[in-house]
């Protein structure tokens, strides 16, 4: 399946119930960290969380998987430079 890889600050995910129904999910949303994510360009068979990204001027809303989590912003930046991956700052 086609996907793009980029680094973005993502909220933590607690469970599938989501922030509307789960108190722990609401708390987890506040814990953000930079992550290397794969955003899929078409919907898949399994339900994944969804994120919105911009590639150039193209807006993509797609399912994503977290590939790698970075401890600090600096770690994320280094990885982006070393691997030629786009990093998104809000
Ligand atoms: Zn939860």
d(CA 30, ligand 1 centre) in Å = 13
Token pair for 13: 């995910």
pTM above 0.85, yes or no: no
By the 8 A CB rule, do 35 and 45 touch? no
d(CA 21, ligand 1 centre) in Å = 8
d(CA 81, ligand 1 centre) in Å = 34
Cα–Cα distance, 32 to 8 (Å, whole number): 10
pLDDT in tens, the chain (90 residues): 899 999 999 988 899 898 899 999 999 999 999 999 999 998 888 888 889 998 778 898 999 999 999 999 999 999 999 999 999 987
The domain total for the chain is 1
Neighbours of 29 (CB within 10 A): 14
Domain containing 41 equals 3-88
Token pair for 29: 């949303």
d(CA 10, ligand 1 centre) in Å = 16
d(CA 49, ligand 1 centre) in Å = 13
């Amino acid at each position: 399946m086609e996907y793009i890889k980029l680094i973005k600050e993502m909220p933590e995910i607690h469970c599938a119930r989501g922030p509307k129904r789960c108190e722990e999910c609401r708390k987890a949303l506040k814990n953000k960290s930079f992550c290397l994510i794969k955003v899929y360009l078409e919907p898949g068979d399994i339900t994944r969380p969804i994120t919105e990204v911009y590639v150039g001027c193209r807006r993509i809303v797609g399912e994503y998987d977290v590939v790698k989590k970075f401890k600090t912003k600096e770690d994320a930046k280094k990885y982006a430079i070393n691997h030629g991956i786009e990093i998104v700052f809000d």
